[in-house]
């Protein structure tokens, strides 16, 4: 008989997520993913000036606010019929690119690495590095018999197998600490053209409000080079070390097998072409993306709005007492199918398309070091590998974009808000496909809908009882100790859930 195990809350993610597992013979046989709160941003926006949208929606999330701001201004660009100038497009790409870099770095080191790295191994450190000596003293003090409540985020933790190589552990701990500085550096880089971060004020329909100067270009380049060094010399090698020590996770957490990408980082002014291309992979069949196939089911979601609506007709009607529902997350579907979104989806679609070519080059290089085939990417460890590769590619591409800026040229195209209009903005947050849909009547927002990455990945079952991508990924996961289900949390965190976004 299957045993029910609750992991509530899942820690080291953004927001409030509960996972219910059914475990039989030390293996997950079923899983349920539940978002545990309601926020109602779409309701808050109704009746407001459309120009409030890109500022209010950025408050959905402190980790990926730039993505929400980008989706919002893209929806308004469409509604107002405005084409942004080259400097405005490049500045948007550079702000979003910086946000990608910080998000990927913090996900691996601060959110996921502690699933694999043995923090207590630092107590065996015999070197003289001041940073590591301080960390050693701190961990020793926290693990002493006199400490009743060890300090987060390191302790307490699940029992289980961690990295066994002492040198790899010590290096990962040092890089964990350095990653905090790198994240701050990426934030500073985003603020050069964004004004501040999080919650960028310069993102507006028509472009950005910040003008480009030679000093800004040089400052961005200087910070970017430091980040590129960290990515190449620390982040990628640490992912290789973890993946080499836990090769079984290339076979765990495969999920639904369907992948969706909207595309991100526009290539040229007024063009639909993007640096990371759009596309849909269903059972290895590559298809073109069609926005009309996106719908949301709510049978098991705590909403009473109609089910199966497209986002342009979407409704947000909370129903906290709804019978049979178990999550505040809706169930987005593409052509009726669940879709995994995120870095893995972007890398798989780009790999299949051969565009941009550096995706195939970097993935093949990494897989060769790990002795894995491309199919192994569809897994828990594959998500970490894809995210690291993407981080490097985005950083390298930012170097090209910043070099294309022309000082003192326009970054903004003026516009007028029409009496009535509609539009949608499709982009890619670090965590995956993000869409905003806006309807304007009497120059006010009449309807606003967001379909966010974690809604795709952490969705509950849909109207046909098909589990969401993460629910499917958990099924089959081996659990050595039902009281310490670290294996399941490794699968969950590989998706980098953001429930603050998903329970919009």
What 3 state SS string does 379-444 have?
CHHHHHHHHHHHHHHHHHHHHHHHHHCCCCCCCECCCCCCCEEEEEEEEEECCEEEEEEEEEECCE
Examine the pLDDT at 148 and tell me if it is beyond 60.
no
Cα 454 to Cα 256, 263, 460, distances in angstroms: 15, 17, 11
Q: What does the pLDDT look like over 284-330, one tens digit per residue?
A: 899 999 999 999 999 999 999 899 999 999 999 999 999 999 999 99
Examine the pLDDT at 353 and tell me if it is beyond 80.
yes
Q: What is the mean pLDDT of residues 389-409?
A: 98
Q: How many CA atoms lie within 13 A of 313 on its CB side?
A: 11
Q: Which residues touch 134 (CB under 8 Å, ≥6 apart)?
A: none
More confident call, 176 vs 272:
176
Question: What pLDDT shows up at residue 220?
Answer: 98
Q: What does the pLDDT look like over 325-346, one tens digit per residue?
A: 999 999 999 999 999 999 999 9
What pTM did the predictor assign?
0.96
Give the domains, in start order, of the chain with CATH numbers. Answer: 3-143+166-502 (1.10.645.10)
Residue 486 — very low, low, confident or very high, per pLDDT cuts 50/70/90?
A: very high
Q: What does the pLDDT look like over 193-211, one tens digit per residue?
A: 999 999 999 999 999 999 9
Question: What pLDDT shows up at residue 140?
Answer: 78
Examine the pLDDT at 151 and tell me if it is beyond 90.
no
Residue 271 — very low, low, confident or very high, per pLDDT cuts 50/70/90?
A: low
Check if the beta carbon of residue 61 is closer than 8 Å to that of residue 501: yes
pLDDT cut 70: percent of the chain above it? 97
DSSP character at residue 15: S
Q: What does the pLDDT look like over 404-459, one tens digit per residue?
A: 999 999 999 999 999 999 999 999 999 999 999 999 999 999 999 999 999 999 99
Examine the pLDDT at 143 and tell me if it is beyond 70.
no
Residue 8 — very low, low, confident or very high, per pLDDT cuts 50/70/90?
A: very high
User: What mean pLDDT, rounded, does the chain reach?
Assistant: 94
Can you tell me the distance from the alpha carbon of 67 to that of 431, in angstroms, rounded to the nearest whole number? Answer: 10
Q: Which of 112, 380, 115 is nearest to 255 (CA)?
A: 380
Q: What does the pLDDT look like over 95-115, one tens digit per residue?
A: 999 999 999 999 999 999 999
Examine the pLDDT at 145 and tell me if it is beyond 70.
no
Question: What pLDDT shows up at residue 141?
Answer: 78
Q: What does the pLDDT look like over 152-193, one tens digit per residue?
A: 567 667 888 999 988 889 899 899 999 999 999 999 999 999
């Amino acid at each position: 008989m299957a045993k029910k195990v609750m992991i509530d809350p899942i820690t080291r993610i953004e927001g409030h997520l509960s996972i219910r597992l059914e475990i039989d013979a030390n293996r997950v046989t079923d899983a349920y993913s539940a978002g545990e709160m309601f926020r109602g941003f779409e309701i808050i926006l109704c009746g407001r000036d459309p120009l409030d949208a890109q500022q209010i929606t950025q408050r959905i999330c402190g980790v990926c606010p730039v993505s929400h701001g980008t989706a919002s201004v893209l929806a308004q660009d469409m509604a107002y019929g405005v084409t942004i100038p080259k400097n405005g497009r490049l500045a948007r790409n550079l702000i979003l690119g910086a946000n990608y870099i910080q998000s990927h770095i913090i996900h691996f080191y601060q959110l996921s690495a502690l699933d694999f790295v043995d923090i207590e191994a630092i107590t065996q450190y015999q070197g003289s590095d001041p940073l590591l000596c301080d960390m050693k003293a701190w961990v020793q003090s926290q693990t002493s018999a006199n400490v009743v409540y060890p300090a987060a985020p390191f302790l307490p933790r699940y029992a289980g197998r961690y990295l066994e190589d002492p040198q790899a552990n010590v290096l990962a701990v040092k890089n964990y600490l350095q990653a905090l500085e790198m994240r701050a550096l990426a934030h500073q880089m985003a603020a050069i053209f964004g004004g501040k971060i999080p919650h960028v004020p310069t993102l507006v329909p028509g472009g950005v409000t910040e003008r480009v100067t030679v000093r800004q270009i040089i400052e961005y380049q200087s910070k970017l080079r430091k980040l590129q060094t960290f990515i190449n010399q620390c982040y990628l090698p640490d992912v290789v070390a973890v993946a080499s020590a836990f090769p079984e996770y290339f076979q765990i957490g495969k999920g639904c097998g369907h992948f969706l990408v909207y595309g991100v980082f526009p290539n040229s002014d007024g063009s639909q072409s993007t640096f990371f291309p759009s596309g849909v992979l269903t059972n290895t069949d590559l298809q073109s993306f069609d926005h009309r196939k996106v719908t949301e089911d709510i049978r098991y979601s705590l909403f009473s709005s109609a089910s199966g609506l497209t986002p342009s007709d979407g409704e947000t009607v909370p129903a906290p007492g709804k019978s049979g529902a178990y999550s505040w997350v809706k169930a987005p579907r593409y052509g009726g199918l669940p879709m995994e979104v995120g870095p893995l989806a972007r890398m798989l679609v780009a790999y299949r398309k051969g565009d941009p070519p550096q995706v195939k080059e970097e993935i093949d290089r990494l897989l060769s070091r790990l002795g894995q085939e491309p199919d192994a990417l569809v897994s828990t460890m594959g998500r970490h590998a894809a995210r690291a590769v993407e981080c490097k590619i985005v950083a390298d591409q930012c170097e090209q974009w910043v070099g294309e800026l022309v000082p003192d040229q326009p970054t903004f195209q003026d516009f007028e808000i029409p009496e009535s209009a509609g539009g949608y903005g499709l982009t890619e947050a670090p965590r995956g496909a993000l869409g905003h849909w806006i309807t304007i009547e009497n120059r006010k927002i009449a309807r606003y809908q967001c379909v966010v990455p974690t809604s795709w990945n952490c969705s509950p079952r849909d109207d046909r009882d098909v589990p969401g991508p993460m629910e499917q990924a958990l099924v089959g996961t081996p659990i050595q100790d039902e009281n310490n289900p670290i294996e399941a949390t490794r699968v969950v965190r590989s998706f980098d859930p953001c429930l603050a976004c998903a329970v919009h």
